[in-house]
Amino acid sequence: MRGNVKRDTKPELAVRRLVHAAGLRYRVAAPPIKGLRRTADLLFRPTKVAVFIDGCFWHSCPEHATSPKANSDYWLPKLERNRERDAETNQLLTDSGWLVLRFWEHEDPEDVARAVVEAVRERRAEREPDRPADGAH
């Protein structure tokens, strides 16, 4: 269990590098809502965009999830609770005006970064209609 990191995974780092290179700045492992004991992998507060890059095992990816063979009485309810918590988090954030973007760890970082950049720029353009969407001044 100690080998399971909560942040700075390879998929997260790859996406963060690309998003940063595109000129966007963000918070890392930050709670979107004060008092919420859950953190987004990338958080864009001004535009209210929360990005989660979910691990295939921990969040039960439909493509790559495996069913634990050992101690399944412990693991199966735990993994189910993770799925429930993800859905609850999505609902809480959406109800608070956040755009929630969820990706799987196996997705191409360039595709993920492109989707994140596009979403943040669209939200920024909605908030500031006179400002160009590409971030240029």
**What are the residues whose beta carbons fall under 8 Å from the beta carbon of 36, sequence distance 6 or more?**
89, 92
| Domain contains 4 | no
At how many degrees (to 10) do helices 10-21 and 109-127 cross?
50
| Domain contains 30 | yes
pLDDT of res. 1: 46
Alpha carbons 31 and 77: distance in angstroms, whole number: 25
pLDDT of res. 67: 78
pLDDT of res. 3: 56
pLDDT tens for each residue of the chain, 137 residues long:
445 667 889 999 999 999 999 999 999 999 999 988 999 999 999 999 999 999 988 888 888 877 787 888 898 899 999 999 999 999 999 999 999 999 999 999 999 999 999 999 999 999 887 766 555 54
| Domain contains 2 | no
| Domain contains 113 | yes
Q: Which residue matches tokens 């006179």?
A: 130
| Domain contains 70 | yes
Q: Which domain holds residue 78?
A: 10-127
| Domain contains 53 | yes
**What are the residues whose beta carbons fall under 8 Å from the beta carbon of 92, sequence distance 6 or more?**
33, 36
Q: What pTM, to 2 d.p., does this model score?
A: 0.87
| Domain contains 133 | no
Q: What is the CATH number of the domain that holds 98?
A: 3.40.960.10
pLDDT of res. 137: 47
| Domain contains 16 | yes
Number of domains in the chain: 1
HSE-CB for 57 with a 13 A CA cutoff: 6
